[in-house]
Structure 1
Amino acid sequence: MEMQGEKNISKHLVRKQDSIQSKFIKPSKATREDQLGKLICYLSIGMIVALVVCILYFITSRGLATFIQNHVGIWQFISGSSWNPGMVDGSGNPQVGALPMIVTSFGVTLLAALLATPFAIAMAVFMTEIAPQRGTKALQAVTELLVGIPSVVYGFIGLSVIVPAVRHLFGGTGFGILSGTLVLFVMILPTVTSLSVDSLRAVPIHYRQASLALGATRWQTIRKVVLKTATPGVLTAIVFGMARAFGEALAVQMVIGNAVLMPHSLVSPASTLTSQLTTQIGNTVMGTLPNNALWSLALVLLLMSLFFNLTVRFIGNWGKRKYES
């Protein structure tokens, strides 16, 4: 009996030890949740990558059809100044010159950035270095309000206010690069301001304290220490604003005139890449030359977006190396 009891006890101990070992070996609830979280993250990343690849492939394949299927020369497309894809010129070549729209897009973007940058930097400096906390909160609320206004509202205000003002001051129809520049100036101002504020606030406080301790005035500290240190961030803000201006369609379309002509003045009607796309893409048949030419314009916009993104990364790496040195 004693031997049988000892055997039962040993079996019970073995079973208990096995159960304890299985509990340790078996993944816990936290481990399973962690694995599920990783799986969801990987699936989300995979979906995003697949979506980006599909968009790139779709736009690239459609955009290259103009040069592959319709046998239009790339240089002819980039340097040509006549846009009428349904017609041919005296040499029998289709009129698909995108140069006026490319020049107008860059012109409006650069002018809007040049106009918005001083105001944005001044507002950022005032909000971070000069204004009291209550004033900073008020300006921040105004900036956030400007960011949230839809593009069509900016375009309608430009059509109702800016275009008549330009017509009254400079004559003509009022539609043109100047009107588009003023609308884009208001649209990108909050973007550049917000990013510039973040860059200035990222400057360590001991930089300011050291400058003031050495006898520099507050303005000298702002100009020679704070702004100089925050230069990479401010440049990134300007590039982001330019990217926003370059890709804007609806507001610019409402005030620029939508005439595919080489701009010869700031008050003459013109057309950007985005305005031409939004006005004409619904009037063409898929697979025809006019439709393929518009997709080529979209490809140019895609390449410019990639250029702006690479510029931002370059500025960020430059700023990082500058801080490390």
Structure 2
Amino acid sequence: MAEGLRDDVARHNYSVDIATTGRAVLEAFTSYDLILLDTDLPDLDGVSVSRAIRQTSMIPIIAFASADEVDQVLLLETGCDDCIERPYRSRDVVARINAVLRRTAPITSPVPFASPVPFASPVPFASPAADLDSVVRARPRGVPPLAAVGEDLVLGEEQGQLIRVGNRLVIDPALREARLGGELLTLTRKEYELLHLLASAPGRIFDRTELMIKIWDYPAGKPVNAQASRTIDTHVSSLRRKLGHRDWIANLRGVGFRLDVPGPRRGGRQAPSRLVAADPEEAPRHGWIRAEGAIESA
């Protein structure tokens, strides 16, 4: 099976080598640009291999997994960028490889970002952390700053600055790190990108199609299927757990998701809260009053 897949992928101008054990993968992965990881290895399971790689590198990983949702969740939580269910078609594998490499390739020009308000100057992509392996080319998705409109101020960050949501959540785009109450959150690549996107406009609703296009490079115009929806739900659920409160990410059923700051509840609903910069003098233009409305949690 591995030889057949290698030949199919090689026909699309990729150079492919086969490692037959998990240990062989761990010894050689720094020489490659992407890993196709089978979870059924003779010495180590795929989850252990993915976790070990993520301790030192952000090299893209695509895992082959069973249809069991639990297996896929474990692989995604340990750092895999994508999962492909077995049995698979070679052309689907090649399409996923192309999509992942597009997302992680160096970008020299800003990427337009759909916004409900006009935005100012775009922000270049931040560089990956300096201590990552030299083969890493993963960069956060570009998010231009949002400008103030009328009396409502929307969070907008310039290069090198932190994204602050409330007085506890801080995101550092340059280091691809997120801290909650000063504690570093352990996030997978996709979890970080999802949190970064939601935090770029707290209170703004992102529908499933937009999330799939921006985070998973889903084809524009293609309806979001059940598997894609499960992918979003899995990552949202994992993020909520790591943030320690499900109300950080509100699910407006049938509409989309938005980032909120958990606050006191009244009658089973979250009370309106104000999002402000941690240091008003350092960033006086930050802060945004979110719209009131009923929130439903998934």
| Pair member with larger Rg | 1
Pick the TM interval, shorter chain. under 0.3
TM-score, structure 1 normalization: 0.22
Greater share of residues in helix:
1
Greater share of residues in strand:
2
TM-score, structure 2 normalization: 0.24
Higher relative contact order (CA 8 A, sep 6+): 1
